[in-house]
Structure 1
Amino acid sequence: MEERQIAKAHKLVINNRKTSMVTGVLDVLSFDLNEVVLETEQGMLLVKGTDLHVNRLSVEKGEIDIAGNIDSIIYSDTNQTGHPNENLFTKLFK
């Protein structure tokens, strides 16, 4: 039989580049005032900006709310085959 991959639920909503709501979050890898790195159902997600704050985090629901000045959103596919010694940022900017 043919195997089918079913995409998991993931949503990213940005309001006026000031607030963001993300669902389908598996893990928060790091966060500070300038960037938030998340593992989502659809791959790695890097949110860059200034004065970023995590307002709400629900690990059980896989949801996070981020506030601040959002400058960029970068996705990276976690299914990419890479070298095991590559760090996260090398994988993100391939």
Structure 2
Amino acid sequence: MEDKIVNQKGHNIIMQDRQTLSITGVLDVLAFDEENVDVETEMGMLTIKGTELHVNKLNLEKKELEIEGEIESLIYHDGEAFTKKGNSFLGKLFK
């Protein structure tokens, strides 16, 4: 019997007490600092705003991201504005 790998698209966000954010369906982290995290997800571009934000876990193979800090807002963007800004976070990291 053959094993079939099904590539399902999905995107979920779980926030606990506005302090911890777990996101699935993450394709790339385009930029981040202590006040903003720009993420490309399977459902579009997402900006997380807050203070003292830290990326605790990034696993692009599993499409998972965990962020900690004071989360103030989650904003989805239409279009490809972020992809034209520059290189992705990983691209900048390995330059």
Could you state the TM-score of these two structures normalised by the residue count of structure 1? 0.75
**Aligned counterpart, 2:40:** 39
**Aligned counterpart, 1:3:** none
Question: Distance in 1 between the 2:37 and 2:23 partners?
Answer: 12
CA contact (8 A) 1:42 1:77 kept: no
Cα shift at 1:59: 1.1
Q: Which amino acid aligns with 1:53?
A: H
Percent identity between the aligned chains? Answer: 51
Question: How many residues are aligned here?
Answer: 75
Question: Distance in 1 between the 2:10 and 2:73 partners?
Answer: 22
Question: Distance in 2 between the 1:76 and 1:32 partners?
Answer: 19
Could you state the TM-score of these two structures normalised by the residue count of structure 2? 0.74
Q: Secondary structure at the match of 1:60?
A: coil
Question: Distance in 2 between the 1:8 and 1:78 partners?
Answer: 19
Question: Distance in 2 between the 1:29 and 1:22 partners?
Answer: 15
Instruction: Indicate yes or no: 2:70 matched with 1:69.
Output: yes
CA contact (8 A) 1:52 1:68 kept: yes
Question: Distance in 1 between the 2:78 and 2:18 partners?
Answer: 23
**Aligned counterpart, 2:89:** none
**Aligned counterpart, 1:29:** 30
Output the aligned Cα RMSD: 1.6
